[in-house]
Every structure is written in C-alpha cells, then in structure tokens.
Amino acid sequence: MDFCQGRRQDFSLNMRVMPDCRLTPCQPTIVARVTLKGAIVMDKLDKLMSRIAIGFVLAGVLLSVVFTQGRSAGSDDPADQRSAKAGASSLNSSDQQFIRKAATGNLAEVELGKLAVQKSLNNDVKKFGQQMIDDHGKAMEHLKQLASKKGFRLPSAPESGMQAARNRLGKFSGDQFDNAYMAQMLKDHKQDVEDFRKESKTTQDRDIRGFVTETLPILEDHLKKAETIAPDLKAQRTAMQKPSAGKVKSR
C-alpha cells in the first residue's frame, strides 16, 4: 500500500498511472481526482461563457440606444426627409403652390405691419398694422401645423417681390408712408381674397379647406378696412391742402 500511495502522488503530478499500480484500492482515489479536476475546468468554462453572454447583451443594449438617438436626431435625418417627401406627395401641385404663397404672404404682412407700427403717424394706420401682425401671425401658426401634418416644408422668408416692397416702404415717412403702405395693403388683400376663394372651390384636401374656411373671412375684413382707411387718408390730405376761407378772402 505504501508503494501504491507513492504512485498516486506521482499520478497527481504527471497525470499518468504506472501499470504496476493498477490495484483495486488505488482506483477510486484516481477516478475521484480526475473527476474533481474536470468539474473545476467545467466550472471555469461556465463562468467564462456567462461573462461573454453578458457582454453581448450589454453591447446590444448600447447599439439600440445609439440607433434610437440617431433616428430621433431631427429633420436632417434621411429617413425623416423621405417621410416628409412622402407626406407632401399626397398634396397636388395646386395645393402645394397655394400653401407656399399663403406662407410667404403671411410673412410679408407681418413684416410690413411692424413697419407701419414703427413709422406711421396715423392712428388708423398703426392699428391696421398691428392687426396685420396679430392676424397674419396666427394664420402662419395654423399653416405651420397644417404643413407639419402634411410633411410639407414652408418657406422661411417672403418672396423677393414682397421684400422689394418692404425696402421701398422703408424709405418713406409721414403721409407718404401711410399712403404707400395702405395702397400696398389694398393690392395684397385683393389678391389674397381672390386666391383663397379660388382654393376653397378647387381643393379636395379637408385640412386645407379648413384653413381656408377659417382664414378667408379675416382677409375679407382686412380688405374692407383697407378700402375704408385709404380714402380717408386721401380726404385728410386733400383737406389739408385746401386754402382756408380767410386766406381766400384776403386775396
């Protein structure tokens, strides 16, 4: 048995069993040691595989977060641009043209209204200018909501013709400004009312029809006020130019 014990120690170091040590008392100890070492190796492998699996899960979560943030980055994302184009394609060319023109018109009326509030010396003109700021500003907000729903990008500035009109009016002051501004308002609102009435008869889009139905009465009211203020300004100017009765008699 001493000889066998020595052989078992040799086995634990060299993982070998000498032929002359194959005695029945030695076998259970050798098998137990081999089984124990195998269990230790398997346990280490299990822990390693668990760590690898956890690493893959964390990596998947991180990629998911990055992908989600990329999708929500804004309208510059190609996917968002494709969606916007798809939404705009649901509107025919006539409706798209109407929306663009209405948007640039609102922007122009707000800018010219600010100019009237700043430069005019006539209370009626100032009040009219402030109404343009308020009413066309609200109409623009409604139009922005409609365009967002349709996936349509609105212009961000007035048309070149409107910008030229603003530059021209900016050079005037006093009565000259009031007359030029109200003449521009008459021209703009006559065209606006005509465009909105036409769109109300031709559009098949329910949302655009709702915008037209809400905005058209406001534009018609603007036109009536402009038609009233413009002649009043002319009458006031004519009255100021007429010589007084005293001056006539002195002649």
pLDDT single digits (tens) 1-15: 454 454 455 544 444
**Which among 127, 134, 129, 135 has a CA at the least distance from the CA of 185?**
129
Percent of the chain residues topping a pLDDT of 70 = 61
Look up the CATH number of the domain holding residue 203: 1.20.1260.10
pLDDT digits (tens, 9 = 90+) for 79-132: 444 444 444 457 889 999 999 999 999 999 999 999 999 999 999 999 999 999
- Distance, CA of 93 to CA of 203 (rounded, Å): 11
pLDDT mean across residues, the chain: 77
How many alpha carbons lie under 13 Å from residue 75 in its C-beta half-sphere? 6
- pLDDT tens digit sequence for 195-246: 999 999 999 999 999 999 999 999 999 999 999 998 888 777 666 666 554 4
Q: Taking every pair of C-alpha atoms in the chain, what is the biggest distance, in angstroms? A: 158
pLDDT given at position 104: 95
Q: Do 198 and 150 touch, CB atoms closer than 8 A?
A: no
Instruction: Give the number of domains in the chain.
Output: 2
Q: Which domain holds residue 153?
A: 80-241
- Domain finish residue from 32, 61, 90: 61
| Comparison of pLDDT for 125 and 65, the residue scoring more | 125
Determine, yes or no, domain membership for 20: yes
Query: CB–CB of 216/142 below 8 Å?
Result: no
Tally of residues, the chain? 251
Q: Per residue in 174-203, is it b (16+ CB within 10 Å) or e — as a string?
A: ebebbbebbebbbebbeebbebbeebeeeb
Q: Are residues 50 and 114 in the same domain?
A: no
> Are 55 and 85 within one domain?
no
- Nearest CA to 106 out of 56, 152, 155 is that of 155
Q: What is the reported pLDDT for 11?
A: 46
Please state, in angstroms and rounded to a whole number, the distance separating the CA atoms of residues 110 and 158.
10
Same domain as 117, residue 90: yes
For residue 95, tell me if it sits in a domain.
yes
